[in-house]
């Protein structure tokens, strides 16, 4: 049983990105694809549609999964970015956005 568990853990470690790499990837994807309209979690197109916790929660986007869906498929005036973000890019950017929202978009 233990060798099987070790094999599974090793496989997960090899195929899943590290947390630091995931954060870096999410931040980079956000900067390259989202920040022009959403600097610091704001929204230069529609003021009320920010990436701040209060606005996300109000629209039912209160998880990284919900944010990933919007990043991938779009919502309202915003087009989806599945192609631009690449495979799993929606997940990385959404997790990063969710973390920033929980920290009120303060760095650190």
CATH number for position 32: 1.10.760.10
Give domain status of residue 12, yes or no.
no
Give domain status of residue 85, yes or no.
yes
Q: Report the DSSP beta bridge partners of residue 55.
A: none
Total tally of structural domains belonging to the chain: 1
Give domain status of residue 73, yes or no.
yes
One pLDDT digit (tens) per residue for the chain, 108 residues: 556 544 554 454 455 556 788 889 999 999 999 999 999 999 999 999 999 999 999 999 999 999 999 999 999 999 999 999 999 999 999 999 999 999 999 864
Q: Identify the domain containing residue 42 by its residue range.
A: 18-102
Q: Which pTM does this prediction carry?
A: 0.80
Give domain status of residue 50, yes or no.
yes
Give domain status of residue 48, yes or no.
yes
């Amino acid at each position: 049983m233990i060798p099987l568990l070790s094999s599974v853990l090793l496989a997960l470690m090899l195929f899943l990105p590290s947390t630091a790499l995931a954060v870096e990837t999410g931040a980079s994807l956000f900067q390259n694809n989202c920040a022009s309209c959403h600097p610091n979690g704001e929204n230069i197109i529609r003021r009320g549609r920010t990436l701040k916790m209060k606005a996300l929660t109000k629209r039912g986007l209160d998880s990284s999964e919900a944010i990933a869906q919007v990043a991938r498929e779009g919502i309202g005036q915003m087009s989806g970015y599945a192609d631009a973000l690449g495979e799993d890019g929606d997940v990385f950017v959404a997790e990063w956005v969710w973390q920033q929202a929980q920290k009120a978009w303060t760095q650190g």
